[in-house]
Amino acid sequence: MKPQTPFEQIQYHMDKALTAQNVTGAERERFLTPDAIIERTLKVHTSKGEQEFPAFRVQFNNARGPYKGGIRFHQDADENEVAALAAAMSIKCAVVDIPLGGAKGGVAFNPKEYSPLDVTIVARAYARAFAEHLGVDKDIPAPDVYTTPELMSVMLDEYEKTVGRSEPGMITGKPIVVGGSRGRGEATARGGVFVLDEYVKEIGRNASDMRVAIQGFGNAGATAAYLLHAMGYKIVALSDSKGTIAKEEGLDPHVTDEAKRNGDSVLDAATVDQSIRTFGPADILSIDCDIFIPAALDNQIRIDTVSAVTADIILELANNPTTPEADEILFAKGVTVIPDVLANAGGVTVSYFEWVQNRMQFYWSEEEVNTKLKEKIVSAYRDVLRVATIEKISQRQAAYRLAVARIHEAMKLRHRY
């Protein structure tokens, strides 16, 4: 039976890697089980009156270092989704070989329906409710869906009030003025672009010959578009939740961004440039391109949509955008999928850098951060490619095998079994 829920999908990939390394029985079950699932009900007074919101923190594995993972505010956040993301974080940190484990947090709350003050109230309530489980050497949160650097500074403030001490390294993704790291905002996309460009060079292609379609024009998708456009890649299609725009001669993402800011969608770029064609949101999958970058929601490439994909290369900036069944089909067709646990690990890598800087109280320039990021993530790519080539498996399977081996070794050394 194929995995259905997000957590089952991540476990499926982990389970395959464990099987390949002959990890069985109780050790397998221990590896696949979160260390802790912490649930709280946030009781807050908002502009809509007294309200309660379910909140979660899943700490998956800390054998390699303190738990690490973002906090998302989303109406559909639940234990299963948060557990899946926590498991993926443990894999991601091991793939890029940083000394951190995996965790994730969430609040079943739609910030779009509330005032900025209400959102701040919820953020403070989360920091108070989970304070005993967080800390610079314990569990280090960060921004995620609908949470921001500014909310991280709010959570830091509330946490420090609760525990009664200064501890800036207990949370990352903060604004620069309260201990954030330069380069953090672009890190997720930049890391993915570093890996993609390395792969393109590896196969002997030129950036100017590569046509790129990007699903999602939020922070990661838009930043990737800017970076790739500047490097000479041709952006032939962009999409958001309202629709898709395409232009065979290439789109200027800066023009698209300005049009969207003046309107409410990438579709508004078509009013500026009449040669731009418009389609529905899902049509981005079938746009003729060489590189497809899912940078929006999970489970976008599924058994019922995979046949629409025309790209030879997929760079997963979104978390879990491809289901296991679709992944197997793509590999059989010879499509290279650079998996999310490698492709979007730039964010957690620079979060690690921020944590290090906070602990040293010594801060790096953006150029230094970007240089260190490139070194770290390209090294991880080389490790993944080596395993994929030797074992004749997909890059996703290679990434999971590499990560599982590193975590498994740490768990044995720490006598966690």
Question: Letter for the amino acid at 110?
Answer: N
Q: Half-sphere exposure of 110 toward its Cβ, with a 13 Å CA cutoff?
A: 4
Distance CA 245, CA 256 (A): 9
The CA distances from residue 65 to 68, 102, 139, 205, 229, in Å, are 9, 9, 9, 39, 37
Distance CA 58, CA 56 (A): 6
Distance CA 330, CA 324 (A): 10
Q: Give the model's pLDDT for residue 44.
A: 97
List of domains in the chain: 34-167 (3.40.50.10860), 187-343 (3.40.50.720)
Burial 299-334 (b: 16+ CB within 10 A, else e): ebbeeebbeebebbbbbbbbbbbbbbbbbbbbbeee
Q: Give the model's pLDDT for residue 3.
A: 75
Tokens 């650079």, residue? 338
Question: What is the set of active-site residues?
Answer: 104
Distance CA 352, CA 198 (A): 23
Q: Give the model's pLDDT for residue 356.
A: 97
Helix (H), strand (E), coil (C) string for the chain: CCCCCHHHHHHHHHHHHHHHCCCCHHHHHHHHCCCEEEEEEEEEEECCEEEEEEEEEEEEECCCCCEECCEEEECCCCHHHHHHHHHHHHHHHHHCCCCCCEEEEEEECCHHHCCHHHHHHHHHHHHHHHHHHCECCCEECCECCCCCHHHHHHHHHHHHHHHCCCCHHHCCCCCHHHCCCCCCCCHHHHHHHHHHHHHHHHCCCCHHHCEEEEECCCHHHHHHHHHHHHCCCEEEEEECCCCEEECCCCCCHHHHHHHHHHCCCHHHHHHHCCCCEEECHHHHHHCCCCEEEECCCCCCECCCCHHHCCCCEEECCCCCCECHHHHHHHHHCCCEEECHHHHCCHHHHHHHHHHHHHHHCCCCCHHHHHHHHHHHHHHHHHHHHHHHHHHCCCHHHHHHHHHHHHHHHHHHHCCCC
| Cα Rg of the chain (Å, integer) | 21
pLDDT in 10s for each residue of the chain, 417 residues: 577 788 899 999 999 999 999 998 999 999 999 999 999 999 999 999 999 999 999 999 999 999 999 999 999 999 998 999 999 999 999 999 999 999 999 999 999 999 999 999 999 999 999 999 999 999 999 999 899 999 999 999 999 999 999 999 999 999 999 999 999 999 999 999 999 999 999 999 999 999 999 999 999 999 999 999 999 999 999 999 999 999 999 999 999 999 999 998 999 999 989 999 999 999 999 999 999 999 998 889 999 999 999 999 999 999 999 999 999 999 999 999 999 999 999 999 999 999 999 999 999 999 999 999 999 999 999 999 999 999 999 999 999 999 999 999 999 999 888
